[in-house]
Chain A
Amino acid sequence: MFFPISGVFIHPLILAGIGFIVGILGGFFGVGGGFIAGPLMIWAGVPINFVVGTDLAHMTGKSIVAARRHRALGNVDLRLALFMVIGTIPGIELGAQLLEHLKVLGNIEHVVGYSYVAILTAIGLFTGRESLRALRTKRTDQLEAKGVSDVKELSVTARLLRLPPLVRLPVSGVREVSIWAVILVGMLTGFLAGFLGVGGGFLRLPLLVYVLGIPTHVAVGTDLFEIIISAGYGTVSHALKGNVDIMIALTMHTGAAIGAQIGAVGTRYFSGPTIRLMFSILPLIAAIMVLLRIGV
């Protein structure tokens, strides 16, 4: 089938299949899946300049489906998501500005690439270690800070940031937390989204769980809601630059919609530590893909 906006011939079932795979990942782990979708879209023949913007568009639609499913399961903390947005949008702009600045300096690919690899590897190893420990001690969903020594400091530090105003997050079971900690999480993930062109879920999920102490299932659902906003903002931004083929995004989304439902339903059958353990593999895979891409 010919897509006139990007000017390529791609079989729609291939695009729907990519969307299906990424949708399952998104519904189950609460990630946008951009680090998987991007390489798959390039393999399918989508021009590189359309990959990031088109994937953000597809991610927006897919996250709506997954977030609504998680909302029905009681896994979306709207207050938390809306507070994070306050930091996410400026973070995205800061990341994009740094990217433009690096473009002027030159050698952007290796700077961005190695930064990405370092962050992904750290997240994957940390999450894997923590979840293995949690599984061994037979703890289930909400992370008990006292059971994981290095996480204790993170969680307690975040809680000790009692800079007013303090907010309650009843859906997440958090009695009080500084709003600045929440906004900082949003800003950090937004910065990475703008800098690396991803949804940021692979970082947001561990930050929500380990820094703010949010239960894993709620972190997954809330993360998806946040992705709607950040990916939607990115969609408009890239569309204005001519980098979105909405027909490709809509085609991918037909597969993603059902994949996201399957992924979201699947979270009911696994405990929090198990989800986190499986999640820990994704950043490591993404790090390898980035290393291969920058030619190491």
Chain B
Amino acid sequence: MDEANKRFPAGDPSLQPLIRSLLAELLIYTPLVILYFLFILRIAERYLADLYYQAPLPYAAGSLLAIVGQGVLLDWLTSWLLRRFGLRK
């Protein structure tokens, strides 16, 4: 219980630096995602749609790989942004 209390303190009242950092992160993240959407996802869309109509099993596997891959990619991007704006050591 004491260890839990040490790891999880009751709360930090100074949220202003957090809010500022998160807003800055959003300002950087948004245009990057828009570029990613326009140049990567729009290209992948054609191949995924073809798979959907022609090959369900590869489409299911491809869907899982696509969402996991994007998860890892965006996690890397958002982690970098968090470190950049001092929210993560």
List chain A positions with a Cβ less than 8 A from chain B: 4-5, 12, 16, 57-58, 60-65, 68-69, 72, 74, 140-142, 144, 173, 215-217, 232, 235-236, 239-240, 242, 244, 246-247, 249-251, 253-254, 257-258, 261-262, 265-266, 268-272, 274
B87 at the interface (CB under 8 A from A): yes
CB<8 Å pairs between A and B, sample of 6: A4-B49, A16-B33, A60-B71, A232-B64, A261-B82, A265-B82
* Minimum distance in angstroms from B63 CB to a CB of chain A: 4
A5-B52, A65-B71, A265-B82 in contact; A251/B1 too (CB < 8 A)?
A: no
Complex Cα distance A29/B17, Å?
22
Is the pair B60, A236 in contact by a Cβ cutoff of 8 Å?
yes
Q: Quick one: which of B7, B25, B29 has the most chain A CB within 10 A?
A: B7
Given contacts A247-B45, A271-B8, A271-B11, contact A240 B60 (CB under 8 A): yes
- Interface hits, B4-52 → A, CB 8 Å: 4-5, 7-12, 15, 18, 22, 25-26, 29, 33, 36-37, 41, 44-45, 48-49, 52
List of B residues within 8 angstroms of A72 by Cβ: 88
Residues on the B chain within 8 Å of A60, using CB: 64, 67-68, 71
Secondary structure type dominating chain A contacts: helix
CA distance A144 to B1 in the complex (A): 8
- A253–B49 CB distance below 8 A: no
Residues of B within 8 A of A173 (CB): 3-4
CB pair A247–B41 under 8 Å, yes or no, is yes
Shortest A4–chain B CB gap in Å is: 4
Interface string of B58-87 (1 = CB under 8 A from A): 011111101110111011011100100001
The prevalent SS among residues of B at the interface is helix
Min CB–CB distance B48 → chain A (angstroms): 6
Given contacts A140-B5, A249-B67, whether A236 and B61 have CB atoms under 8 Å apart is yes
Contact A61 B70 (CB under 8 A): yes
Residue numbers of B with Cβ under 8 A of A are: 1, 3-5, 7-12, 15, 18, 22, 25-26, 29, 33, 36-37, 41, 44-45, 48-49, 52, 56-57, 59-64, 66-68, 70-72, 74-75, 77-79, 82, 87-88
Distance A232 CA – B67 CA, assembled complex (angstroms): 9
CB–CB A61/B71 < 8 A = yes
Cα separation A4 to B56 with both chains bound (whole Å): 15
- How distant is A167 from chain B, measured CB to nearest CB, in Å? 19
Q: Given A247-B45, A254-B36, A257-B74, 8 other A-B contacts at CB below 8 A?
A: A60-B67, A64-B71, A140-B4, A141-B4, A239-B56, A246-B48, A261-B78, A265-B22
The smallest C-beta distance from A262 to any residue of chain B, in angstroms, reads 6
Residues of B within 8 A of A236 (CB): 60-61, 63-64
Q: Is the CB of B75 within 8 A of A142?
A: no
Q: Which of A242, A247, A249, A268 has the most CB of B within 10 A?
A: A247
**Are A4 and B67 interface neighbours, CB within 8 A?**
no
Give the complex CA separation of A16 and B79 in angstroms. Answer: 19
| Contact, CB under 8 Å: B71 / A257 | yes
Q: Using CB atoms, name the residue of chain A closest to B32.
A: A254
